[in-house]
Structure 1
Amino acid sequence: MNFYTYKFRPFHTIIIVFRWKHFLETMFLRKLFLSDKEKVFFLSLSEKRKIEFLSIRYVLKYIGIKINIFYNEKRKPFLFPEGKYISLSHSFEKIAIAISSYHIGIDIEKLRKDKKIIRIKKKFIRDDESIFIPKNYEEDYLHIIWGIKESLYKLEGGIFYSFLDHYKVSPFCIQKDSYVSCWILKKYYSKRFYAFYRKIEEHYLVYIIDDK
């Protein structure tokens, strides 16, 4: 089983990263065991949501976690009983799932060969962020910063959509730092968080836990 599992006792958090293509056939067989109501809901989902729907259940069953999963009006998953939060991300062949006693945002991004991240950097890199990005590691920094802002966006519930105006990343060095100071910028005040990241094969995993 190609799983990467991380547990954080102080935050009562577990993060699982796995290659979903290896389990796709098995996961689709799992839908045969869904209730009639779940099958109707499953068929109404997009292909991306179908993969997430099945993969969550597959992974939780595999690691022995018994939690009920529900979806809100925006078809975003949440967990029952109360007190548990979930965040999801997938990029190409990998899916990342985070379950925590605290609000959590997670993102996983693949280092792509087409350099798309460089072409779109003006959409999410602020002027005060561009000055600390070294040219020889630009793609790595851009993927990490994108992952941080995507995680902040999820943490905030998707309310603030502008990656330029509402989210800020403080200077960091990927050769030295394992976490990054970052901010959600609101009209009347700002809130500081710490984002953690690590490289898994050709992907960057980023997660932010709001323990306040």
Structure 2
Amino acid sequence: MILLNKFHTKIIVFKWFNLETLFSKELITLSEKERKIFFSLSKKRKKEFLGVRYALRYIGIMNLFYNEKRKPFLFPQKKYISLSHSFEKIAIAISSYHIGIDIEKFRKNKIIKVKEKFIREDESLFIHPNQEEEYLHIIWGIKESLYKLEGGLSSSFLDHYKVSPFCINKDFCISCWILKKSYSKRFSAFYRKIDEHYLVYIIDK
């Protein structure tokens, strides 16, 4: 499913069906380095690892490169890429600009348990109690996308990222911020719901 193909940016979401068949075929094409990584992972991580690589190769991307911040990019195309996966869905964003993407399956209990790790006091003020879980998933997706866009290695979701007030189903473009001691910068985040998943992306144009 291609969700966006403009502004020098393409966003694609894959949904897996015959997982075991695809994974067994994909394992054959792994490089020696990738195989070492693969066999060190848990069963869940193995599926995610193979799923992402299958999706990349399906759209013609054979190799990823990483900068000093562990941020992936494509060469020689000189394009940026961001990846996310959650259960049966995989999201890939490719752009001429810095970009961050996140896809998360709606899981009420889990998001409630971890909200204190990423929700600031000023953000909690605009979260409607009747839609708390939806707000939490979108805010998490925004901060995860900012993290990937920035290429941060130790950024705090509480201290370094901030989401401005918004209303679900009314505001599909949400203002958000990277806040650091040396600088602050505003971005626009976009989100949509796909089946039981929330997709968020941010392009630094």
Please tell me the TM-score bracket, short chain as reference: 0.7 to 0.9
**What's the Cα RMSD here?**
2.6
Determine if contact 2:69/2:152 at 8 Å carries over to the other structure.
no
Match of residue 12, structure 2, among 13, 16, 29: 16
- Give distance in 2, aligned partners of 1:24 and 1:206: 28
**Corresponding residue of 2:3:** 6
| Letter matched to residue 201 of structure 2 | Y
Determine if contact 1:83/1:102 at 8 Å carries over to the other structure.
no
In structure 2, relative to structure 1, the CA distance for the partners of 1:47 and 1:88 (3 Å cut) is: farther
- Give distance in 1, aligned partners of 2:198 and 2:101: 11
**Corresponding residue of 1:145:** 139
Q: How far is the alpha carbon of 1:131 from its aligned partner?
A: 0.9
**Corresponding residue of 1:134:** 128
**1:1-212 equivalences in 2 (<5 Å):** 4-10=1-7, 12-20=8-16, 22-36=18-32, 38-40=34-36, 42-43=38-39, 50-63=46-59, 65-66=60-61, 68-70=63-65, 77-113=72-108, 115-211=109-205
In structure 2, relative to structure 1, the CA distance for the partners of 1:187 and 1:157 (3 Å cut) is: same
Q: Name the count of aligned residue pairs.
A: 205
> Which TM-score applies when normalising by structure 1?
0.83
Q: How far is the alpha carbon of 1:103 from its aligned partner?
A: 1.1
- Give distance in 2, aligned partners of 1:154 and 1:86: 10
In structure 2, relative to structure 1, the CA distance for the partners of 1:39 and 1:110 (3 Å cut) is: closer
- Give distance in 1, aligned partners of 2:158 and 2:18: 37
Determine if contact 1:179/1:196 at 8 Å carries over to the other structure.
yes
Structure 1's unaligned 5+ residue stretches are: none
SS of the residue aligned with 1:165?
coil
- Give distance in 1, aligned partners of 2:204 and 2:88: 28
Determine what percentage of the aligned residue pairs are the same residue: 70
- Give distance in 1, aligned partners of 2:66 and 2:24: 19
SS of the residue aligned with 1:120?
helix
Determine if contact 1:28/1:54 at 8 Å carries over to the other structure.
no
Q: How far is the alpha carbon of 1:79 from its aligned partner?
A: 2.0
Determine if contact 2:106/2:198 at 8 Å carries over to the other structure.
yes
| Letter matched to residue 13 of structure 2 | V
| Letter matched to residue 103 of structure 1 | H
- Give distance in 2, aligned partners of 1:42 and 1:139: 33
Structure 2's unaligned 5+ residue stretches are: none
SS of the residue aligned with 2:131?
helix
